[in-house]
Amino acid sequence: MARSTRESILTAAAELMRHRGYAAVAMKDLAAASGAPIGSLYHHFPGGKVQIAREALVNAGAAYGMLIPTLVDPHDDLGEAVEALFAQAADDMAATGYANMCPVASVAAEIADTVDELRQATAEIFDGWLDGGAAYFTKRGLPPAQARDVTVALVGALEGAFILARTLRSREPLLVAGRVLAPGYRGVALGAHAAVPG
Amino acid sequence: MARSTRESILTAAAELMRHRGYAAVAMKDLAAASGAPIGSLYHHFPGGKVQIAREALVNAGAAYGMLIPTLVDPHDDLGEAVEALFAQAADDMAATGYANMCPVASVAAEIADTVDELRQATAEIFDGWLDGGAAYFTKRGLPPAQARDVTVALVGALEGAFILARTLRSREPLLVAGRVLAPGYRGVALGAHAAVPG
DNA sequence: GTCTATATCACGATAGAC
DNA sequence: GTCTATCGTGATATAGAC
């Protein structure tokens, strides 16, 4: 598990942005958290802070995009899957002391109007989640239009419930989201298990 | 409509945080946007940037909390109301060039782990929305438990869809959220119109 | 490719004249 | 209550030795 300096910088960036967003993370913090001196940050990322943030978000986004397929995969009924998904997210959040699971949404909200390079990056990540989720649910037998709607609704509801849950330090928003969304999908059968995209 | 210096500072703060979050808004920016010199900011808000942000968020949160009751009020069927709510939000967002409607969620995501005074403020605002929405739907005849669940689900879905819509610059996430949530509430009658809380 | 030292500038906050 | 000047700090980024 010998990680390169580059990787440790990106890992540190994702970890710090997960908690503080973009503007509140300083290059000095990235140097301290990664163990690399400031000079190395600019050696590996000549584009500076924006480039580091962009690559860290892309990495984190790819990992996070497998969350829905991974958690849905064991289930054969879409309603059950949805309820389990939100219950699992609620438990994870509570277990981590209501820290954010993923830096993408936090950063996206902060920079959508100001740092266009990052807005484009977060948009591509979201698009990847939506396309990947739609492809996954299509493979499990849903009609393409429903597969996409389910994915968009799940990602949106998850992100919104994450913000509420984190701020209120309560599992309620996540549990309610699952409870409200699941009935509409109860009885919708999921077909043969597909390989989780990666 | 002669606004006090204090009010113009708070208005400027809400407007800037709506676009940039908390950390990326500088006192200098608040001075420029409000027309008040730096010294006046600290005269009116001895607590500095945190105090300004807190009061601006409380003000904006109170206004924003009336959104759901106001948009739901003309409807007699909960399903119709939900679909209209998201459609209206989608149109508003598109009309404003996909700017954020409200600073609360953006700031909440950014400071939940770092500035506890603001985390508490945003939590109180969210709680106010949830309590106010639950009270509103209860007055319109829903059982209290359902009234609260509906509110939690709507606020969560709205916030999540806002982030996606703003980043993707698309109405799709808001329209899909409405389309997915509405069927579960179709046929749920809303009783006599209640006064919108304020 | 690593690391130190530093340039340049913007930050939040304060002091104090008016 | 308004406004200017400025303090001390920490920001991003660079230069250049090793």
Q: By the 8 A CB rule, do A2 and B97 touch?
A: no
B9: Cβ contacts below 8 Å, ≥ 6 apart: B30, B34, B36, B40, B41, B44, B45, B52
Could you report the per-residue pLDDT of A17-62, keeping only the tens digit for each?
999 999 999 999 999 999 999 999 999 999 999 999 999 999 999 9
Chain A residues inside the 8 Å CB shell of B155: 160, 164, 173
Residue B196, min C-alpha distance to chain A (Å): 23
In the predicted structure, residue B173 carries a pLDDT above the cut 90? yes
Could you report the per-residue pLDDT of A57-70, keeping only the tens digit for each?
999 999 999 999 99
Which one is predicted more confidently, B101 or A182? Answer: A182
Nearest CA in chain B to A122: B167
Cβ distance of B159 and A157 shorter than 8 Å: no
What is the pLDDT confidence band of residue A163, given thresholds at 50, 70 and 90?
Answer: very high
Residue A1: what pLDDT?
52
Closest nucleotide C1' to the C-alpha of B31: D3
From B120, B153, B150, B155, select the one nearest B135 (Cα to Cα): B150
A5: Cβ contacts below 8 Å, ≥ 6 apart: A34, A36, A40, A44
Kindly determine whether the C-beta of residue B54 is less than 7 Å away from any atom of nucleic acid strand C.
no
Nearest CA in chain B to A19: B113
What is the pLDDT confidence band of residue A194, given thresholds at 50, 70 and 90?
Answer: low
What's the rounded mean pLDDT across residues B45-56? Answer: 98
Question: Which residue among B23, B158, B179 places its CB closest to the CB of A149?
Answer: B179
Q: What is the mean pLDDT of chain B?
A: 96
Residue B193, min C-alpha distance to chain A (Å): 24
Kindly determine whether the C-beta of residue B37 is less than 7 Å away from any atom of nucleic acid strand C.
no
Residue B1, min C-alpha distance to chain A (Å): 29
What is the pLDDT confidence band of residue A3, given thresholds at 50, 70 and 90?
Answer: confident
Could you report the per-residue pLDDT of B55-112, keeping only the tens digit for each?
999 999 999 999 999 999 999 999 999 999 999 999 999 999 999 889 999 999 999 9
Give the domains, in start order, of chain B with CATH numbers: 5-57 (1.10.10.60), 65-185 (1.10.357.10)
What's the rounded mean pLDDT across residues A112-126? Answer: 98
